[in-house]
Amino acid sequence: MDREINTRNGDYSGRTINNLQNAVYLRLMTPLGSYWGDKKLGSLLYTLEREKDVQSVSLLAQQYAQQALQPIIDDGRATDIFVTTLQTHNGQLHLNVQVTEMTGEKFIFECPVKVI
């Protein structure tokens, strides 16, 4: 059991979890190459903060998320990860990540991404 990380502010929520939610959060929200313990951990989602709120950003976000989460599948902790995006054109892009764990359990992780 892990303590849950709140996706809105990055702090602990006070709840405990039994899924890969924290692993997904850390892989998406850590800038790629910035973690000293593993230079491959992280994503390029932080680069989208400088992008305009256009349709192509949605595709980039989806690709960046898939690349960042692939190691969770490669190391056998999940069997499938499916990423969709919702672009409301209000300065935020929403990632919806459906993770199927090795036990067969599924959970959905929602993550906001800032864009201009």
Backbone angles phi, psi at 51, to 5 degrees: -90, 150
pLDDT at residue 30, rounded to an integer: 93
* Residue closest to 109 by CA, chosen among 99, 14, 77, 101: 99
Across the chain, mean pLDDT equals: 88
Is the pTM above the cut of 0.85?
yes
Residue 111 has pLDDT above 80, yes or no: yes
pLDDT at residue 24, rounded to an integer: 92
Residues 6-58: pLDDT tens digits?
Answer: 767 677 777 776 778 888 989 999 999 999 999 999 999 999 988 888 888 99
pLDDT at residue 3, rounded to an integer: 76
Cα–Cα distance measured from residue 63 to residue 69, given in angstroms and rounded to the nearest whole number: 10
